[in-house]
Amino acid sequence: MKDDKTCICVGDIKSGVCKPCTDKNYFNGSKCAPCAGTVTADKLTCVMCDPGQYMVDSECTDCVGDVDATYTKCTACTGIKYFDATAKKCSICPGTISDDKKTCTECAEYKYFSTVDAACKDCSGAVSSDKLSCEPCGKNNTWSDSSTTPPTCKSCVGTVNADFTTCTECGANTVWNDATKTCEDCIGTVIEDGKTCEPCFGTFEYDDSC
């Protein structure tokens, strides 16, 4: 009895003839395809280069920069970007970059990195986790207290100046109204928090106090 045998072409079939994959090409299941990495001896598998590597003379080579989708080109980091060894790509450095583009020294705790000025800037407010932005004081009537390191936003029971660096508290016999954001007269006694007015009661007569 004659056995039927089927041959598999590990390559491209042209005019009924099998053309085996050659060089850095491997058989991807239907045809020969370029391999950005190492081809196994049987030409059936492509072991890709590691992240952050690209092909140079048929060898996987480390790239201190960004690798393109085909793993054939390495673009060096420029400008405000450095090579992030963990992410294996160029990333914005919120601080100072070393000459070899491999190290990023971040801005100090209370500073943020301005991508416009390419420099660390003081932040009178909250610095974002990536150090690329600053949410300044001013919201909810807050001001920046520069006597602390880093400067902190503090609530102001009174009037905040235009650049949010000074708080002028409400004067005598006035209280702070959170709803109107203004100081209002208190016909009574101002409680210690400066936000509560306790009116005079009974036969007490108001004369700067009950």
Write out pLDDT tens, residues 188-201.
888 888 888 888 77
34 alpha carbon, distance to own chain's centre: 35
CB neighbours (10 Å) of residue 174?
Answer: 17
- 71, part of any domain: no
pTM: 0.59
- 23, part of any domain: yes
Q: What is the pLDDT of residue 62?
A: 94
pLDDT band at 27 (very low <50, low <70, confident <90, very high): very high
pLDDT band at 73 (very low <50, low <70, confident <90, very high): very high
Number of domains in the chain: 1
Query: What mean pLDDT do residues 43-52 have?
Result: 91
Q: Which domain holds residue 34?
A: 9-48
- 36, part of any domain: yes
- 169, part of any domain: no
- 165, part of any domain: no
The DSSP result for 21-71, as a single string, is --TTEEE-SSSEEE-SEEE-TTSS-EEEPPTTEEEETTEEEE-SEEE-TTS
- 42, part of any domain: yes
pLDDT band at 205 (very low <50, low <70, confident <90, very high): low
Query: What mean pLDDT do residues 7-26 have?
Result: 88
Could you read off the pLDDT of 49-59 as tens digits, one per residue?
999 999 898 88
Asked if residue 150 has a cis previous peptide bond (ω within 30° of 0), the answer is yes
Residue 170 DSSP SS3: coil
- 189, part of any domain: no
- 99, part of any domain: no
pLDDT band at 101 (very low <50, low <70, confident <90, very high): very high
> Alpha-carbon distance 186 to 180, whole Å?
15
Could you read off the pLDDT of 140-186 as tens digits, one per residue?
788 888 777 767 788 888 888 888 888 899 988 899 888 888 899 99
Q: What is the pLDDT of residue 208?
A: 56
pLDDT exceeds 50 at position 1: no
The answer to whether 173 and 186 have CB atoms below 8 angstroms apart is yes
